[in-house]
Chains A and B, each alone.
Chain A
């Protein structure tokens, strides 16, 4: 009986640590996407100066995809252990 609260708190601590780790992983992923987008922007500038117009559209699309992924990670991504989802659904 005496072990029950400490066990619960231990589990809670694990969940919290795990959630923090996943949130940090999300941040790292966002930073990596930003770096990729910076690279795409540099490539776009070089292609425009080189008059290589055929590659401009694919580069803009690539940057757009990166932006959509960023939005997805920021607005719709939530840890699976969370009780409330982004749509307000309460997990049982």
Chain B
């Protein structure tokens, strides 16, 4: 008799008084019963429903809330050469943004999150446009409008202010949306 079988036999002897109350074999304990699988599917369904409701609720609350923006200087913007870009953070340290200086010298700034699935966009110098590397979407570097690809709406636009000595300040953030009302 192998040691495994002997162990099992010992367990059977030790648990014999309880076999009437819990009549399960050890092998069967590892199997998933139909009832357990049903319960798992039920819990999955509940989780998916809560996830949908939670995500929709958060999006709706975020859209309704009005945020006050504090003007902030964009460091290094005055030295930015035409046709190049600069990454910075605004309005909070968590919000990455991109400042683009067009070939004509004008400044444009956008939130860096792609409006498709939130990948960070980058400035593609050769074509003078903002591109998303995840799903090949592209945005106009002057307006933030979608040029092609899966993004459903324009990039969030940052309001800029030119101050003395060529300083560039970010003063606000406007969601790039095709649908404003909620």
Residues of chain A touching chain B, judged by Cβ–Cβ distance below 8 Å, are 23, 26-27, 30-31, 33-34, 37-38, 40-41, 44-54, 56-57, 59-60, 63-64, 66-67, 70-71, 74
B7 nearest CB across to chain A (Å)? 34
Asked if A48 contacts B153 (CB within 8 A), the reply is no
- Whether a CB of chain A sits under 8 angstroms from the CB of B16 is no
7 more A-B residue pairs beyond the given contacts A41-B48, A74-B41, with a C-beta to C-beta distance below 8 A: A34-B41, A34-B48, A51-B153, A51-B175, A53-B179, A60-B52, A63-B48
Residues from chain B with a CB closer than 8 A to the CB of A74 are 38-39, 41-42
State A14–B41 Cα separation when bound (angstroms): 28
Contact residues of B between 103 and 121, Cβ < 8 Å to A: 115-118
Most chain B CB within a 10 A radius of its CB, from A34, A46, A64: A34
Residues from chain A with a CB closer than 8 A to the CB of B182 are 53
Asked if A51 contacts B52 (CB within 8 A), the reply is no
Could you name 24 residue pairs across A and B whose Cβ atoms are closer than 8 Å?
A: A27-B34, A27-B37, A31-B41, A33-B41, A34-B44, A34-B45, A44-B55, A45-B55, A46-B117, A48-B55, A48-B58, A49-B115, A53-B63, A53-B179, A59-B56, A60-B52, A63-B49, A63-B53, A64-B49, A67-B46, A67-B49, A70-B42, A70-B46, A74-B41
**For chain A, what secondary structure do more than half of its interface residues adopt (helix, strand, loop), or is it mixed?**
helix
Asked if A48 contacts B34 (CB within 8 A), the reply is no
Asked if A66 contacts B63 (CB within 8 A), the reply is no
- Whether a CB of chain A sits under 8 angstroms from the CB of B15 is no
- Whether a CB of chain A sits under 8 angstroms from the CB of B11 is no
